[in-house]
Amino acid sequence: MPVNMIVCCKQVPDPEAPPSVFKVVNNKMTVPPEVKPVIGQYEEFALEAALKIKDTAGGKITALSLGNNFVRDVIKKALAVGADELVLLEDKAFEDGDSWSTADALAAAVKKIGTYDIIFCGRQSSDWDAGQVGLGIAEILGIPAVTLARKAGISDGKAKVERVIPDGYQVIEVTLPAVIVVTSGIGALRYATLKGIMAAAKKQPVVWKPADIGLEPSKTGAAGRRSKLDKLFQPVKESKCEIIEGETVAEAGAKLAVRLREAKLL
C-alpha cells in the first residue's frame, strides 16, 4: 500500500559546532555566521525512516518545516534525498514559539495537507531539546503516537514500530494515521544523489503564512506560547584539569595511573 507521509524537519544551528561558539546575548542564543544551519539530527533520522518505507511500500513524502528565514539549500536537502514536496511555514510571526505554538501550527498545516498515514518527527530538536512537538501534534489531531522509534514498517494497514526502552526494545503495532517519533538506530540519512540534488534545485517549496493555515499571526509563535522564557544563560565553568605530562605519551599514561593512586581515586 502506498503510504502518505509527512516528515517534520527543523533548521537549527549545527549542534556539532564546538560549545565555545554558542553565546547567549540579550536572552537569545547566537552563533557566528561560520556555523552553518543544518536539518536537526533526529529529523534527519525521521526523514530516513520515511524514505525506507517509501523504498519498500512506495508512497509520497512531504517535508514540513516551521520557522523564518530558511536557508533554501539547507532545508531543500529533504527534497534532494527523496522527499516529494516541501512545505515551509515561513513567517516572522512563527518565530520564538514554544512546543505548544509549534505543534499547533504544524498540526494546522498537516490538516491542510490533508492526506496522511504517518507523520514522522524527530525525538527532540537540536536547539531547544524539549521533545514535545510530535506528541503535541498527535494530541491535537487526536491520533496515536509511538515515540523513541528505531525502526518502522508497514504491515496489514498498520505500522509496526520498534520502540527503545531502557533495557531493550518493544515491538509496537499502531493503527494509522499515527505520529511516529524517531530516535537514533534508524540509520544515518542517505546521501543525496546528483539527480536528487538537481531535481531539488528546480523545485520550489510551498510557503504558507499563518493565514494560509487558519492561524492569526497574533496567536502563534511567541504570542502563542504557554510557557514563559524568563532567562537564558550559560553557567560559568572553570577548568580545573590537572594535565599529566611525560617524556612520551605512554609515559604520561603510566604517570596518570600513579597520580590517580596517589589521589586515592583508584
Partner 1 sequence: MAEYKGILVCGELADGKLASITTELLGCGRKLADELKEELSCLLASDAVSAAAKEAIAFGADKVYAVEHPTLKEYQADSYTQVVEKVVKDISPRVILIGQTSVGRDMAPRLAFRLGTSVTTDCLNLSVDPATKLLVQTRPVYGGNAQAVFTSQLMPQMVTVRAKTMSPLERDASRKGEVIPTEVDIDTSKVRTKILETVKEEAVGIKLEDAPVIVSGGRGMGGPQPFQTVLKELADLLHGAVGASRPPADNGWVPEHLHIGLTGKIVAPDIYIAIAISGASQHTAGCSGSKHIIAINKDPEANIFREAEFGVVGKYEEVVPAFTSKLKELLAG
Whose Cβ is closer to partner 1: residue 115's or residue 155's?
155
- Nearest one of 179, 103, 177 to 136, comparing CA atoms: 103
Nearer to partner 1, 207 or 257 (CB): 257
Burial of 164 (0-12, 13-18, 19+ CB in 10 A): middle
Name the residue nearer to partner 1 (CB basis): 6 or 138.
Answer: 138
Taking the least distance from each CB to partner 1, the nearer of 195 and 233 is 233
Closest distance between partner 1 and the C-beta of residue 202, in Å? 32
Q: How far is the CB of 75 from partner 1 (least distance, A)?
A: 20
Q: Which residue has the cell 503516537?
A: 145
Q: Shortest gap between Cβ of 149 and partner 1 (angstroms)?
A: 11
**Virtual torsion, Cα 64, 70, 71, 76, nearest 10 deg:** 10
The single residue listed with the C-alpha cell 511567541 is 222
Nearer to partner 1, 144 or 196 (CB): 144
Residue type at 125? S
**Residue 179 C-beta: closest distance to partner 1, Å:** 11
Please state, in angstroms and as integers, the Cα–Cα distance from residue 200 to each residue in 45, 51, 86, following that order.
Answer: 19, 16, 10
Q: How far is CA 187 from the centre of its chain?
A: 14
Residue (of 156, 154, 157, 119) closest to 139 by Cα position: 119
State the nearest-atom distance from the C-beta of 51 to partner 1, in Å: 17
